[in-house]
């Protein structure tokens, strides 16, 4: 290694005549004009063209983790002036763990020049500049070249066809401000959630300023109608004040966005999400039978006074909320000890699964009237004749939450995942809100006197209904036995389409340029099973996954697995299901907890919209 | 009662079977403890960050082939910083993290040669597997960290405020590392504790 002389002295220092390219290192630099002749006083388009050899790249205005943006220093004749570059949208240049923003192949950085108003027709001016850039492949080399442009002044402006076309193409890639594209940004204590209009799973954000956000492509969380980019702030800085940068969406022109980041309000939002998740939990197959049986209990107590009914409602709600809090406390304690657990974790223990199977079987038998519990833990069937005590209501709340463990309702994943990153009081509040949501429908029903009056009279028909509802109880028990079996002998996936997950396998499939879908699942996760049968097993989805440029992985969290838990928490989740799509060259796209075939196909880029948009990004 | 027992079992099952996943490494940030490491130096000896407890430490990510690094060594800027502050009892480690086959990969013997040729007062440490670079999320050469005697990061980021490979403008740059060290050594708070590093990428 020698330091004789200056670095730049070792580089080609070429003086360009006309617009001939000057070559330095692996880059040809030249100035391009949109005009063959300019009018006095005319403002016209020009640009710096950088043509790179294979594998080399130059940088965007924010170079990313490393690098340096190109610069142009003019030495203009008197009266001429030049504006700074407009920057076409860059692309991400990824050399894990680093991410840079830049251009490869060829780029034209447009700018505007102004001719002096007192220029005379017939004269010409040589507009000269020194271009500086850093070009990198596996190593970096600074490049410098003198570039120039001969501008002819005429009474009438004349376009340069080739130059105009090249500059227009570059201008089309320069993002324009768009106040509509982003709906808002919220700091959730760990990252900025940038909310975008519409479902745009392949959206990509390039921060305007260095050192504000992490440069690696951020995960995208898509819902039925909205999209969130999950932007991490740069190491060592807290909540960014604004989310400003370039937004790329396939098939659309790049846009510039600049939205203030709301720092507060995350807790309120997640409390609301948790409550909504809790409400929806009532409709999930795990909880619904329990709830239906409870409704029968309600009928049985039809004649009781509103005050008594309200006490029962409160006892039930207390049961639900307390068991949520107990679960949260357990999770927090375990997590602080370093264990990677999430919603549904009790089902990762064979003993608890066995106990639950027995419990559900007992509940089923109880409904059939084989034996009675009295004021039992289940509290479901017994005491229909208005003898059920408050303890029964309380424990049926507990039972409803135990039954809920295998199910994940929409919104829950995000809310609980966030809760577990927060200090204990906030986390407990989120779980409490989930419980409140889960308890709300039944509690409201119970304490609604007008409704109570209109309920049908209890009678023999209730016995029949009880018998009907014993079926889901037995089904659950049978299914838990299957879970137990799967816990004991984790089966290799019998399906050739689904490979077994490992971070390395996903990385290598992505490196091969494949679109990758990862299904984080568990045998005990009923929501997962439903999604796998309804959305992931359709002929069209299977066909999309079977394409040579796609790959499907299944990460089975039936038994505990620290690697899977770690991957879940990377995406801000605490449990399964989680569906992550890595579109070819794209970010991680998180799909909602309840899948539809359309959603999956869209994210895989197999939807009708995206089929025509391949290779649109610059 | 047995109902409560069941619920409590849930909690205990979680707590009892803890610790199968190490907590994710926290990002290095100003005001937090600098993670410890042990690396082999150009002298062939092992050097640990924790050995330097009680002293100020500078970590400089180093790749002698990188034009940004050359700018600071070619102008003797880096050597003079190293000389000044090691003279004041500061420990200065220049960490070479380039992967096998990449630019800037050094063996201890090659590092000793480079150190002599460049006239460095800093010790070159070989981060053979880029573990320390990952630990500190080092992105560029140079990427600077200043650590106080208690082992906390007091500055991280660029060496100065002039991202360039130009040798002529180095005198006009404001050096963040010397600003941080001067303030800290004088018992003053460090004004700028974090900046965006610039340079070549660390060759992972």
Instruction: Check residue A201 and give its pLDDT.
Output: 82
Q: B167: which chain A residues are within 8 Å (Cβ-Cβ)?
A: 6-7
Number of compact structural domains in chain B = 1
For residues A189 and B141, the model is more confident at B141
Which residues on adjacent β-strands are paired with residue A244? Answer: A258
| 8 Å CB contact of B65 and A139 | yes
Query: Looking at the complex, does the CB of residue A401 fall below 8 Å from at least one CB of chain B?
Result: no
Rounded Cα distance between A301 and A313, Å, is: 12
Crossing angle for the helix pair A350-368 and A461-488, to the nearest 10 degrees:
160
For residues A587 and A514, the model is more confident at A514
| 8 Å CB contact of B15 and A330 | yes
For residues B145 and A296, the model is more confident at B145
Structure tokens at B22: 């190490």
Instruction: Check residue A299 and give its pLDDT.
Output: 67
Residue B14 placed within a domain: no
**Residue-wise DSSP of chain B:** -HHHHHHHHHHHHHHHT--SSPPPPPPP-TTSBPPP-EEEETTS-EEEGGGGTTS-EEEEE--TTSHHHHHHHHTTHHHHHHHHHHHTT-EEEEEE-PPTTSTT---HHHHHHHHHHHT--SEEEE-TTSHHHHHHT--EES-EEEE-TTSBEEEEE-SBS-----STTGGGS-BHHHHHHHHHHTTPPPS--B----BEEP--
pLDDT-based confidence at residue A493 (cuts at 50, 70, 90): low
Helix (H, G, I), strand (E, B) or coil at A31: strand
For residues B180 and A188, the model is more confident at B180
**Residue-wise DSSP of A231-247:** EEBPTT----SEEEEEE
Domain residue limits at B172? 27-201
Looking up tokens 């600049």, which residue turns up?
Answer: A258
Structure tokens at A76: 């203009």
Which residues on adjacent β-strands are paired with residue A222? Answer: A227
pLDDT-based confidence at residue A377 (cuts at 50, 70, 90): very low
Query: Looking at the complex, does the CB of residue B167 fall below 8 Å from at least one CB of chain A?
Result: yes
Instruction: Check residue A239 and give its pLDDT.
Output: 85
Residue of A nearest to B10 (CA): A346
Instruction: Check residue A12 and give its pLDDT.
Output: 34
State pTM to two decimals: 0.78
Over range B4-13, report the average pLDDT.
40
Residue B89 placed within a domain: yes
Q: CATH code at B80?
A: 3.40.30.10
Residue B33 placed within a domain: yes
pLDDT-based confidence at residue A67 (cuts at 50, 70, 90): very high
Q: Which residues make Cβ contacts (< 8 Å) with residue A471, sequence separation at least 6?
A: A364
For residues A408 and A273, the answer to whether their CB atoms sit within 8 Å is no
In this predicted structure, the answer to whether residue A305 has a pLDDT above a threshold of 90 is no
Rounded Cα distance between A561 and A582, Å, is: 22
Phi/psi for B16 (5° steps) reads -70, -30
Rounded Cα distance between A374 and A114, Å, is: 91
H, E, C per residue of A311-359: HHHHHHHHHHHHHHHHHHHHHHHHHHCCCCCCCCHHHHCHHHHHHHHHH
Residue B6 placed within a domain: no
Which of these, A297, A402, A393, A394, lies nearest to A359 by C-alpha position?
A: A402
Per-residue pLDDT tens for A448-484?
Answer: 767 766 767 767 777 787 788 788 888 888 888 988 8
Which residues on adjacent β-strands are paired with residue B199? Answer: A67
Structure tokens at A53: 């050899």
Over range A574-600, report the average pLDDT.
87
Query: Looking at the complex, does the CB of residue B35 fall below 8 Å from at least one CB of chain A?
Result: no
For residues A558 and A498, the answer to whether their CB atoms sit within 8 Å is no
Kind of pairing, strands B123-126 and B38-41? antiparallel
Residue B39 placed within a domain: yes
Query: Looking at the complex, does the CB of residue B166 fall below 8 Å from at least one CB of chain A?
Result: yes
For residues B138 and B69, the answer to whether their CB atoms sit within 8 Å is no
Over range B169-197, report the average pLDDT.
95
Structure tokens at A162: 């080739």
Looking up tokens 């577990």, which residue turns up?
Answer: A420
In this predicted structure, the answer to whether residue A280 has a pLDDT above a threshold of 80 is yes
Number of A–B residue contacts, CB under 8 Å: 155
For residues A135 and A52, the answer to whether their CB atoms sit within 8 Å is yes
pLDDT-based confidence at residue A70 (cuts at 50, 70, 90): very high
In this predicted structure, the answer to whether residue A304 has a pLDDT above a threshold of 70 is no
Over range B100-109, report the average pLDDT.
95
Kind of pairing, strands A242-248 and A255-262? antiparallel
Instruction: State the smallest CA–CA distance between residue A614 and chain B in angstroms.
Output: 30
Question: What single DSSP character describes residue A584?
Answer: T
Structure tokens at A29: 């630099």
Phi/psi for A573 (5° steps) reads -115, 160
Residue B13 placed within a domain: no
Share of chain B above pLDDT 70, in %: 87
Query: Looking at the complex, does the CB of residue B198 fall below 8 Å from at least one CB of chain A?
Result: yes
For residues A369 and A463, the answer to whether their CB atoms sit within 8 Å is yes
> Which of B1, B9, B14, B127 would best serve as a mutation to test chain A binding (most A beta carbons within 10 A)?
B14
Give the E-state strand segments of A43-123 in sequence order.
43-52, 57-64, 71-75, 81-82, 91-95, 98-104, 106-114
Query: Looking at the complex, does the CB of residue B64 fall below 8 Å from at least one CB of chain A?
Result: yes
Q: Is the dihedral of CA B52, B58, B61, B65 positive or negative?
A: negative
For residues B151 and A20, the model is more confident at B151
For residues A137 and A55, the answer to whether their CB atoms sit within 8 Å is yes
Instruction: Check residue A300 and give its pLDDT.
Output: 66
Looking up tokens 């400003």, which residue turns up?
Answer: A244
Cα–Cα distances in angstroms (integers) from residue A306 to residues A65, A358, A391, A464, in the given order: 65, 35, 18, 27
Q: Compute chain B's Rg from CA coordinates.
A: 20
Rounded Cα distance between B180 and B186, Å, is: 10
Which of these, A180, A178, A210, A205, lies nearest to A194 by C-alpha position?
A: A205
Cα–Cα distances in angstroms (integers) from residue A538 to residues A521, A541, A596, B131, in the given order: 18, 5, 10, 44
Q: What angle do CA A127, A128, A134 make, to 5 degrees?
A: 135
Question: Widest CA span of chain B, in angstroms?
Answer: 80
Kind of pairing, strands A515-521 and A550-556? parallel
Helices (H), A447-580: 449-454, 461-488, 503-511, 526-534, 539-546, 562-570
For residues A31 and A127, the answer to whether their CB atoms sit within 8 Å is yes
Instruction: Check residue A546 and give its pLDDT.
Output: 92
Residue B55 placed within a domain: yes
Per-residue pLDDT tens for A145-185?
Answer: 999 999 999 999 999 999 999 999 999 999 999 999 999 99
**H-helix or E-strand containing A185?**
strand A182-187
Rounded Cα distance between B198 and B139, Å, is: 8
Per-residue pLDDT tens for B31-56?
Answer: 999 999 999 999 999 999 999 999 99
Rounded Cα distance between B56 and B58, Å, is: 7
Average pLDDT score over chain A? 84
> Which of B70, B127, B139 would best serve as a mutation to test chain A binding (most A beta carbons within 10 A)?
B139
In this predicted structure, the answer to whether residue B21 has a pLDDT above a threshold of 60 is no
Query: Looking at the complex, does the CB of residue B137 fall below 8 Å from at least one CB of chain A?
Result: yes
Looking up tokens 């639950």, which residue turns up?
Answer: A356
For residues A176 and A88, the answer to whether their CB atoms sit within 8 Å is no
Instruction: Check residue B4 and give its pLDDT.
Output: 43
Per-residue pLDDT tens for A544-571?
Answer: 999 999 999 999 998 888 889 888 888 8
Which of these, B70, B17, B184, B160, lies nearest to A337 by C-alpha position?
A: B17
Instruction: State the smallest CA–CA distance between residue B66 and chain A in angstroms.
Output: 6
Phi/psi for B101 (5° steps) reads 80, -5
For residues A414 and A574, the answer to whether their CB atoms sit within 8 Å is no
pLDDT-based confidence at residue A491 (cuts at 50, 70, 90): low
For residues A347 and B183, the model is more confident at B183
In this predicted structure, the answer to whether residue A612 has a pLDDT above a threshold of 50 is no
ipTM associated with this complex: 0.82
Instruction: Check residue A386 and give its pLDDT.
Output: 37
Instruction: State the smallest CA–CA distance between residue A432 and chain B in angstroms.
Output: 16
For residues B8 and A48, the model is more confident at A48
Residue B15 placed within a domain: no
| 8 Å CB contact of A3 and B22 | no
**H-helix or E-strand containing A230?**
strand A226-232
How many other CB atoms are there within 10 angstroms of residue A64's CB atom?
A: 23
Structure tokens at A419: 């809760």
Per-residue pLDDT tens for A385-406?
Answer: 334 578 888 888 888 888 888 8
Q: Which residues make Cβ contacts (< 8 Å) with residue A238, sequence separation at least 6?
A: none
């Amino acid at each position: 290694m020698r330091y004789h002389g200056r670095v730049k002295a070792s580089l080609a220092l070429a003086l360009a005549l006309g617009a001939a390219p000057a070559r330095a290192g692996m880059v040809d630099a030249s100035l391009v004009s949109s005009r063959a002749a300019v009018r006095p006083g005319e403002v016209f388009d020009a640009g710096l063209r950088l043509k790179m050899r294979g594998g080399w790249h130059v940088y965007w205005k924010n170079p990313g983790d490393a690098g340096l943006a190109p610069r142009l220093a003019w030495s203009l004749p008197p009266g001429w002036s030049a504006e700074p570059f407009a920057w076409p949208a860059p692309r991400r240049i990824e050399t894990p763990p680093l991410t840079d923003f830049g251009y490869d192949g060829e780029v034209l950085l447009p700018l505007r020049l102004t001719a002096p108003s007192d220029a005379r027709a017939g004269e010409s001016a040589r507009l000269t500049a020194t271009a500086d850039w850093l070009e990198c492949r596996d190593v970096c080399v600074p490049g410098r070249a003198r570039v120039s442009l001969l501008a002819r002044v005429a009474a009438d402006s004349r376009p340069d066809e080739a130059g105009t076309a090249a500059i227009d193409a570059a201008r089309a890639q320069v993002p324009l401000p768009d106040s509509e594209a982003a709906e808002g940004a919220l700091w959730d204590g760990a990252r900025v959630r940038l909310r975008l209009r519409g479902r745009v799973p392949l959206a990509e954000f390039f921060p305007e300023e260095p050192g504000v956000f992490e440069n690696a492509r951020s995960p995208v969380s898509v819902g039925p109608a909205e999209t969130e980019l999950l932007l991490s702030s740069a190491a060592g800085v807290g909540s960014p004040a604004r989310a400003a940068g370039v937004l790329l969406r396939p098939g659309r022109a790049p846009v510039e966005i600049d939205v203030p980041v709301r720092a507060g309000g995350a807790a309120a939002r997640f409390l609301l999400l948790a409550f909504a998740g809790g409400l929806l939990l009532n409709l999930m197959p795990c909880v619904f039978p329990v709830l239906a049986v409870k409704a029968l209990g309600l009928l049985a107590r039809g004649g009781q006074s509103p005050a008594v009914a309200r006490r029962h409602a409160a006892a039930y709600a207390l049961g639900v909320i307390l068991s949520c809090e107990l679960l949260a406390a357990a999770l927090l304690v375990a997590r602080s000890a370093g264990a990677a657990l999430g919603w549904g974790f009790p089902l990762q223990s064979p003993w608890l699964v066995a106990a639950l199977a027995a419990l559900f079987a007992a509940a089923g038998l109880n409904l059939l009237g084989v034996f009675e519990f009295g004021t039992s833990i289940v509290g479901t069937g017994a005491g229909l004749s208005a003898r059920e005590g408050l303890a029964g209501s309380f424990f049926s709340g507990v039972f409803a939450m135990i039954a809920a463990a295998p199910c994940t309702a929409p919104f829950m994943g995000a809310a609980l995942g966030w809760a577990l990153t927060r200090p204990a009081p906030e986390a407990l509040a989120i779980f409490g809100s989930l419980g409140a949501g889960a308890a709300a429908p039944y509690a409201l029903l119970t304490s609604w006197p007008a409704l109570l009056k209109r309920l049908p009279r209890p009678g023999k028909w209730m016995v029949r209904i009880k018998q009907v509802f014993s079926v889901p109880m037995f089904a659950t028990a049978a299914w838990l036995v299957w879970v137990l079996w799967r816990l004991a002998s984790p089966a290799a996936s019998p399906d050739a389409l689904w490979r077994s997950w490992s971070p390395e396998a996903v990385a290598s499939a992505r490196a091969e340029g494949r679109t990758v879908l990862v299904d984080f699942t568990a045998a005990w996760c009923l929501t997962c099973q439903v999604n796998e049968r309804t959305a992931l097993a359709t002929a069209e989805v299977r066909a999309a996954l079977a394409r040579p440029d796609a790959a499907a992985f299944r990460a089975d969290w039936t038994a505990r697995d620290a690697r899977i838990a770690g991957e879940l928490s990377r995406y801000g989740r605490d449990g399964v299901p989680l569906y992550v799509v890595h579109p070819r060259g794209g970010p991680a796209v998180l799909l909602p907890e309840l899948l539809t075939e359309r959603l999956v196909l869209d994210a895989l880029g197999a939807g009708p919209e995206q089929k025509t948009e391949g290779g649109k990004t610059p | 009662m047995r109902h409560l027992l069941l619920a409590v079992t849930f909690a205990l099952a979680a707590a009892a079977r803890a610790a199968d996943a190490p907590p994710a490494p926290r990002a290095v940030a100003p005001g937090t403890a600098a993670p410890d490491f042990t690396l082999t130096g150009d002298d062939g000896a092992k050097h640990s960050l924790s050995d330097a407890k009680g002293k100020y430490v500078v970590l400089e990510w180093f790749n002698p082939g990188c034009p940004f690094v050359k700018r600071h060594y070619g102008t003797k800027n880096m050597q003079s910083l190293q000389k000044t502050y090691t003279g004041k009892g500061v420990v200065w480690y220049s960490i070479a993290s380039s992967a096998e086959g990449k630019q800037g990969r050094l063996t201890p013997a090659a590092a000793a040669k480079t150190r002599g040729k460049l006239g460095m007062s800093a010790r070159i440490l070989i981060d053979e597997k880029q573990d320390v670079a990952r630990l500190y999320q080092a992105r560029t050469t140079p990427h600077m960290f200043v650590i106080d005697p208690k082992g906390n990061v007091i500055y991280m980021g660029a060496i100065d405020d002039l991202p360039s490979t130009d040798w002529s403008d180095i005198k006009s740059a404001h050096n963040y590392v010397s600003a941080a060290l001067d303030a800290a050594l004088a018992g003053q708070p460090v004004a700028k504790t974090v900046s965006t590093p610039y340079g070549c990428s660390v060759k992972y």
